[in-house]
Structure formats: C-alpha cells, structure tokens
A and B are shown apart, each in its own frame.
Chain A
Amino acid sequence: MQINFKRSLINTVLFAYTLAAVYFLTGYFMGTLPSKEHFLDIDKIKVGSLLFLVMGFVLDCGSNWSSLKTIGDQLFSKKIEFVKTASNVFWKLHIYLVLILTIIASIIVVEFSFMDLFDEYGFQGAVRLFKGIFSPNFEILPRALHAIVETIYIAFLATFIAVPIAFFFSFVGAKNVMTHPVAFAVYMTLRTFLNIVRSVEPLIWAIIFSVWVGIGPFAGMLALMLHSVASLTKQYSEIVECIDDGPVEGVKATGAGILQTIAFGIVPQIVLPYISFTIYRWDINVRMATVIGLVGGGGIGTMLIQYQGQAMWREVGCIVVVIAVVVWVLDTGSAYIREAIK
C-alpha cells in the first residue's frame, strides 16, 4: 500500500483520540485520575498530547502493515474491496467506538444531571419565573415601546448604511468579476478580511464599540453595521458569482464600458435577490439588536437586562411580549415581501 499523507494524518489523530479517551474514561471511573491542577500544566499537556499522537502514529503504521482497513483507508484510498472480512469492517467498528467514547465523555463534561433538572427547589424557582413572565406588568409598556422603536431604528440604520458598502464590495468580492491577477489579489484580501469580521460575533463587536463610543444605541448600531457589511457582501457576491454570463457578453459586445456592462449586464440580474437579502438582513438585525442590547447596545435589550438583573419577572414578561410581537410581525412581513418579489 502506498504512503498517503491524508490517510496517515486522519488515522493518527483518530487512534490518538481513541487512546486518550479510553485512558481518561478508565481513569475517571476507576478514580485513578490525577488532580485537576495536574492537567492545567501546559508542559504536561504538550508531552501528553505528543505521547498520544506518537502512539496513534505507531498504530497507524501497524494497521498499514497488517492491512487492516482503517477509516483513513476508507476515506482516501481508491481501492474498493468487496470481501467482508473482519479486517475490512475494522473502520466501521472504529467509528462506533469513537462515537460511543465521545458520547460518554461529553455527558461527563457537560455535568448532565436529571437530578438538577427535577430538583424541587430549582423547579420552584423556574415556576416563579414563568408565573411572572405569564402575568406581564403592562405598566412599563410605554417605556418598552419606546425601547423597541429604538431597537428597530438601530437595526434599520445599520442595514441602511451597510447596503451601499456591501453593494460595492460585492463586485470586488466576486470571483467572476475579479479575473485579472491584480484584481484577484484584491478579491482574496477583501474576502479574508470580511471572513475575519464575520467570524467575530456581533455581541463581541458591541462590547468593543461600547468601550469605543460609549454604551448606548450608537455602539449597537456600529456593531450590527459591521456584521451586516460582512454578511451582506458574502451573500451579494455569491449572487454575482451565479449570474448568467450571456447578457454580460451581449452588453460587452456592443462596445459598452466597464460600468455600463455592470449596470446593464449584471445589475438587472441581481437586483431582486439583493432586495430580498436586504429585507431579510434587516429582519435578522432587529432580532440581533435585541441581543446586542444585553451588553449595552441600547434599545429593548438593555431594558430587558436591567429588569432581569433585579429579578422583576413581570416586567420582563411585558418586554418579552413586545419583542415577540415585533419579531413576529417583521418575520411574517419580510417573508411575505420576499415571496412577492421572487
């Protein structure tokens, strides 16, 4: 059998994982695991991981030599075997083993406990909370409405500012527009940058901006706007990448300039999906603005966290009702519009 890097890598990692899982689980159930401090030492972590990986590699070599059919073989080698021998189903057994070990380990890590779920004292607390929420105190309704309007406007402005920026970026971020080598470099840079922006949750951006411009709706708007630019650019440029080249060539062949080619060849094909994605993004932004309010982004979220902090569940109930109604209306409305313009 020839040497295959991908196959060896996945086998080594999986064997190492299996060995480590068996070691820790056995230790856990036998009560022979060392103390937690022992595992927080970075040097011990390094040595331990390396040890398991080396053992995994040894097992991989062994399996290769004994022609056991491993998961790596199944995934990356072209050879197809029809005979059902014990060595040929080894990879299946290995998958089951990994899965079972992982389930057991995750139950232990999560501290999953039916005891806590049905603990009487805790259960009463939940009942109290739900009682409050289900008998909302509508005295604070005017303030809640004021706050939700703020939230809707935060979301609107964030979307409104993000759309033109994303519109411009969507062409720069489309592979079929940026064919020239220099343009392709710009494309890669933009994509990478926006991927990074997008992978940071709006919640984190809100924290950053609330330090930058101070706690309040402006910070929330900036966070949502940044996230919207990144998300919309990705969605928009995927639309641009899927367009039909025919009309573009047709327009180009008349001697049209680059901007005219975009305006007549590309824009008519993308305008409706763009509108659809934009409405959907506003819809998402309203929901996100609520969450962002929890960390000081202003609007209804900020109000919610204040009452929640004081355990005023009846007031929380009122806010939840307001949020639910607004989200439902926007959700239905945006779905209806998107369906209509399809």
Chain B
Amino acid sequence: MEQNYGFFTRLSMAFKMIFSGAYTRTLLQPVAAEPEVPQVEIKEHNQDSALQLISLLQKEGRLVDFINEDINSFADEQVAAAARVVHQGVKKALAEHVSFTPVSETPEGESITLAADYNRSQWQLTGNVAGQPPFTGTVIHKGWQVTEMKLPAVVEGTNLNVVAAAEVEL
C-alpha cells in the first residue's frame, strides 16, 4: 500500500536525499527522535530583497538593460563599452551593499584535507568521491560567501516590482 505523504513531508524527503551527512543532521536535529517522519521548515520566500538587488544592479550597472539587449547585433567594441558600464556599476552596487569573502583560505590549485565534520554547505565534493572522510583533494574553486548584506529599508506600499521606472523628459 502506498503511503500518503503530505506535500511538505515529500519535500523534506527530497531534501534529505539531496543533502548529505552532517548538514541534514543539523537541520533535522529537532525531530531526530522520530527518524521515520523527518520534517524541515520550508521558508516562504519574500522576494523584496531580490527585487531590490535587481533594481540596484540596474540602477548602478544597467544590468537588466544589458542582458535584455541582443548581443549578436553589436560589434565587440560596442559590447565592450557597455560591459564597462555594467562592470563598474555592478561592482559599485555590490561593494556598497554586499561583503564577500572566499570560503577556502587554501588557494585554488593547492591540496586540502576535509575532516569528517566539515561544513557540508561550504564545501562541495566532486570527482572521485568514495570512502570515508577525511577527504583529501585539490581546491578547484575557492568559493564565495556573503558575510554581510545591507539593502535599503523599504517604505510600506513601495512597488518593488518596478526595478527601473520609465523615464519621461518634459
């Protein structure tokens, strides 16, 4: 007989399958006493900050304009000029609002050993993944993590879906 799982239960089982080891364990700690019915909280997404970020990247770096243009119809020179606007502006927008640091202190190309309790959300294993930790391998990508993110406060009633208002010159 097929068991009738609720939506969230099914989702949580899916998560359980995706996430390996310790991450799942920490996430599931509160319900560890009943391992047969694992449950996780799924956060409802508030899209406000994503919209704000798009708006910032458009305002400072014209990112939405850039992506929506047909790149094939322009010469490399024109694309390069536009890319400078995007690069400079996006860089500025991110520098003002987001702080990044690399995940790995070990430089790319060098060898690293991950202990059994390594943080599964910070490190992703690829290639010949077999056996038991500790795992030794080569850092391919140093990774990035956001240490701080500060977005403008939003006044109630502001329509954030308009990431760039249309401009009309009088």
- Say if A and B assemble together: no
- B residues apposed to A, CB below 8 Å: none
- A residues apposed to B, CB below 8 Å: none
